[in-house]
């Protein structure tokens, strides 16, 4: 792997690469090796002021662009992403540990497709007219909200950026976007490519980097922000919502999950085993917000299911993210790795039985990186912390159930409500269970498919709002109603007038 990166990355404000006011930097690690890749600058309140001011100035002209013009801009961005697929994929793998097979064939192409999808949606978006009576009509039109603050997590740094950027720009907004300090490079490099291609007017996209406590707090509390969108933890969501409520602005929250993946005895067991592993999200080390980390398995197939899943996971090729044969890469950071390992210890202390894995991989050449074995717990009770709390790593809890009613109760007995899976040959049961589970999305006989044009989002502590569907444009729009009275005579409310 021979990436050529800058020694220090600057902020991107008003179409220029500029230094942060603080003069401070943050190191970005390669989780496959533990080595420092490069540094980013720590933006503070003064830098956020500059970015918001630039976005406000750009808004004056950008919000006047036509749907056809914005469609063209988004298609050009998609083209840049496609042309640089391998380059961007390499950066994603280097900075956050996503295997090359995932970054090259899912992450980057998916981002390009989202820009294409929302480019198509723009032309179809319309207001509407309500006829009140012979003399009165009401026209409702769509307007941009203004300057949007977008906060991106580290686990899918390019695709989730696209989830937010594409509808925000499509609706006519300008943006200030903050990537995670664990994986900021892919977005910075994408914006550099967009800038060098001369696609967007100055100030339409502004990128600020730094920690959540400094840069993120300054962005979310800024009075010039008109909309906030976060993908992150519940605690981060609480902080962002406090700021949004103080400034009385809309917010979209996607805050993770502890998703149930339910396997009935009549399911196709070959597909089910594959679905459990796909649901665990090993293609991204379990660092998937919708990961089906609670596998509920009906008693009749429980033992065989456990053995088959463990057999496949035991043979999984764990290695450096850039290797083509790698099926699971490293955890994104040392801190996150330690969190995952601490939950494994919690699971053992709670009485769950460790069936597979459970340790950091310390054999060379993986000993320098942040690698954790694929891990399976059995004899898990749904009340245990490992079954209730989001671990965000390759840790699967397999829970036995007997009846449909029992599994619905357990599936819903959790604070999160993002995704769920149902595996059965009985379509009536599939639909009954899908409707009974309180989540934003349910997959039947598949898992974690997130194409553009299918809404994604959660309920309960998983947040609110929807992405990756044309309804996301509504999340970035203000609807203005213009009421028109065409009658020639006064209403007669005031006879003496």
Residue pointed to by tokens 């026209």: 139
With residue 368 as reference, give the H or E element that holds it: none
Could you please report the per-residue DSSP string of 41-53? E---HHHHHHHHH
Strands 227-231 and 251-254: parallel
Choose, from 148, 267, 289, 310, the residue flagged as catalytic.
289
**Is the separation of the CB atoms in 17 and 11 below 8 Å?**
yes
The answer to whether 40 touches 168, Cβ cutoff 8 Å, is: no
What six digits make up the tokens of 310?
Answer: 């463990």
Assign residue 442 a region (left: φ > 0; alpha: ψ between -120 and 50; beta: otherwise).
beta
Provide the token pair at 406. 């029992």
Q: What is the DSSP letter of 208?
A: -
Cα–Cα distances (Å) from 6 to 26, 27, 192, 283, in that order, read 13, 12, 12, 28
Half-sphere exposure of 438 (CA within 13 A, CB side): 14
Contacts of 439 (CB under 8 A, 6+ apart): 257, 259, 260, 417, 418, 419, 420, 458, 459, 462
The per-type count for the chain, helices as H runs and strands as E runs, is 16, 23
Cα–Cα distances (Å) from 414 to 90, 321, 382, 391, in that order, read 37, 33, 9, 14
Mark whether 289 is an active-site residue: yes
Calculate Rg over the CA atoms of the chain: 24
Rounded Cα distance, 6 and 330, in Å: 23
Report the candidate in 350, 349, 391, 399 with the shortest Cα–Cα distance to residue 374. Answer: 391
274 near 251, Cβ under 8 Å? no
Quick check: is 246 catalytic?
Answer: no
Catalytic residue selected from 243, 254, 373, 390: 254
The DSSP bridge partners found for residue 447 are none
Closest CA to 280 of 365, 325, 340: 340
- On the question of a cis peptide bond just before residue 365, with omega within 30 degrees of 0, the verdict is yes
Catalytic residue IDs: 254, 289
């Amino acid at each position: 792997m021979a990436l050529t990166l800058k020694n220090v990355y600057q902020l991107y404000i008003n179409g220029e690469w500029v230094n942060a006011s603080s003069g401070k930097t943050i190191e970005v690690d390669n989780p496959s090796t533990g080595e420092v890749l490069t540094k980013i600058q720590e933006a503070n309140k003064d830098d956020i002021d500059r970015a918001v001011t630039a976005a406000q100035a750009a808004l004056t002209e950008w919000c006047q662009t036509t749907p056809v013009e914005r469609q063209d801009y988004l298609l050009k961005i998609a083209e840049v992403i496609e042309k640089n697929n391998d380059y961007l994929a390499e950066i994603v793998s280097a900075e956050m540990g996503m295997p090359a097979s995932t970054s090259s064939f899912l992450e980057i192409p998916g981002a390009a497709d989202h820009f294409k999808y929302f480019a198509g949606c723009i032309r179809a978006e319309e207001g509407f007219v309500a006829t009140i009576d012979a003399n009165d009509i009401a026209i409702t039109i769509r307007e941009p909200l203004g300057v949007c603050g977008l906060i991106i997590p580290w686990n899918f740094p390019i695709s989730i950026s696209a989830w937010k950027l594409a509808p925000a720009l499509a609706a006519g907004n300008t943006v200030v976007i903050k990537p995670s300090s664990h994986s900021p490079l892919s977005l910075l490099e994408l914006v550099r490519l967009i800038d060098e291609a001369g696609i967007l007017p100055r100030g339409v996209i502004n990128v600020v980097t730094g920690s959540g406590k400094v840069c993120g707090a300054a962005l979310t509390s800024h009075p010039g922000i008109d909309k906030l969108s976060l993908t992150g933890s519940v605690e981060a969501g609480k902080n962002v919502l406090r700021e949004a409520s103080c400034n009385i602005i809309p917010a979209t929250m996607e805050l993770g999950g502890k998703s149930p993946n339910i396997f009935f005895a009549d399911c196709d067991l070959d597909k089910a085993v594959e679905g459990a592993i796909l649901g665990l999200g090993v293609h991204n080390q379990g660092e998937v917000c919708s990961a089906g980390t609670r596998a509920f398995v009906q008693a009749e197939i429980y033992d065989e299911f456990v053995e088959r899943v463990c057999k496949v996971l035991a043979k999984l090729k764990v290695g450096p993210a850039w290797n083509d044969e790698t099926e699971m890469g490293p955890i994104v950071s040392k801190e996150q790795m330690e969190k995952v390992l601490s939950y494994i210890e919690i699971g053992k202390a709670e009485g769950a039985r460790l069936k597979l894995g459970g340790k950091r991989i310390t054999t060379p050449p993986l000993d320098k990186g942040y690698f954790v074995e694929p891990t399976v717990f059995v004899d898990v009770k749904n009340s245990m912390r490992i079954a209730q709390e989001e671990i965000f790593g390759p840790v699967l809890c397999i829970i036995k159930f007997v009846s449909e009613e029992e599994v619905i109760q357990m599936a819903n007995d959790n604070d999160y409500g993002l995704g769920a899976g149902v595996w059965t040959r009985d379509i009536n049961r599939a639909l009954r269970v899908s409707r009974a589970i309180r989540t934003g999305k349910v997959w039947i006989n598949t898992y974690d498919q997130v194409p553009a044009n299918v809404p994604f989002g959660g309920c309960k502590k998983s947040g609110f709002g929807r992405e990756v569907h044309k309804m996301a444009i509504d999340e970035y729009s203000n609807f203005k109603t213009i009421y028109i009275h065409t009658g020639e005579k006064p209403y007669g409310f005031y006879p003496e007038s």
